[in-house]
A and B are shown apart, each in its own frame.
Chain A
Amino acid sequence: MKGRSIEPFFWSLFSSGGMLCAMVLPAVAAILWIAIPLGWIAAPNHESLVALVAHPIIRLALFGLVALGAFHWGHRFRFTLYDGLQLKHLFGLIAAVCYGTATALTVLAAYVLWTL
C-alpha cells in the first residue's frame, strides 16, 4: 500500500473500544447476566426497559458500545491469531475475517437499534 497506512485508523477504533468496554461492560455483565438471573436483584420490568432504550442517547451509546467493542475485538484478535497461533502467513485472510466480522456486527447493531 502506498502513502499513509490504514493501521492507525484500526488502532484508534481498538483503543476507544477498549476504553469504552473497560468502563461499561463489567457492570452490564454483572447486573444483566449474573445478578438478575440469580435473583440477587429484581429484574426490571419489560415496559421500563423498553422506555429506557427508546431514548436516543441510550440508543446511540448502545450502538457505540457494540460497534467499538466489535472493532476492539477484531483488531486484538487479529494479532492474537498472528502471534499466539503463529499464523502470520495468513495475514490477509485473518485481517479480512476479523474486520469483516466487526463491520457486519456494526451494521447489525445499526439495524437493530434503528428499528427498535
Chain B
Amino acid sequence: MNPEYRLYHPKWYRRRIPIFWWLKKLAYLKFVLRELTSLAVVYAVVLLLLQLVALSRGEAAYARFLDLLGRPGFLAIHTLVLLGLVFHTVTWLNLAPRALVLRLRGKKVPDRFILAGHYLGWLAVTLLIVWGLVGR
C-alpha cells in the first residue's frame, strides 16, 4: 500500500517539499548524484548485453558494433557512464564499514581494515578483468 496514504487522516497536514529540494545543499546534491548512479549501472549492463548479441552474430556484426563505440557521441556518453560507475563504486565501498561489522576475538575490526579489504578486492577484480580482456 502507498506509504503516504493514511486511513482516517484525510486532512493530515504535510508540508510540501519543492521538487528541486536537492539543489539546496552540496550534501543533498551528492546524495542525489549517488542515487542516480543506478542509471549508469543499468546502461552498462544493457550495453554489455547488446555487445554480447553483436558478438554472437558474427565477425561483421561485431565490427559494426565496435565502429559505433568509436563515435565521438558514444565516447562522450561512455565517459560520463564511467564516471558514474566509479562514483557508484567509491560511495558503495565507503559504506561497507557500516554494513559489515566484523568481530575478532570479541573486538570490533576497525573501519579502515574493512575499507582496505574492500578496496583491495576491487583492485583484484579489476586486475582479473584486465588480464582477461587485454592482450587476447
Please give the residue numbers on chain A whose beta carbons come within 8 Å of chain B beta carbons, in ascending order. Answer: 1, 15, 17-19, 21-34, 36-38, 41-46, 48-50, 52-53, 62, 65-66, 69-70, 72-73, 76-77, 79-80, 83-86, 88-89, 91-92, 105, 108-109, 112-113, 115-116
Contact = CB atoms under 8 A, between A and B. Distances in A.
B55 A44 contact: no
Given A22-B89, A52-B132, A84-B35, A112 B56 contact: yes
A37 B4 CA distance: 48
B106 interface: no
Nearest to B17: A86
B134 A80 contact: no
Nearest to A91: B2
28 contacts: A1-B1, A15-B99, A18-B88, A22-B89, A25-B44, A25-B85, A26-B86, A29-B81, A30-B82, A33-B47, A33-B78, A36-B66, A36-B69, A38-B75, A42-B134, A44-B133, A46-B58, A62-B52, A66-B49, A69-B42, A72-B38, A80-B36, A84-B32, A86-B17, A88-B3, A89-B2, A108-B49, A112-B52
Interface residues of B, number: 56
Contacts of A31: 129-130, 133-134
Contact of B44 (A29, A52, A112, A113): A29
B46 A34 contact: no
Interface in B57-101: 58-59, 62-63, 66, 69-70, 74-75, 78-79, 81-82, 85-86, 88-89, 92-93, 99
B85 A29 contact: yes
B41 A42 contact: no
Contacts of A52: 132, 136
A70 B74 CA distance: 21
A47 B114 CA distance: 40
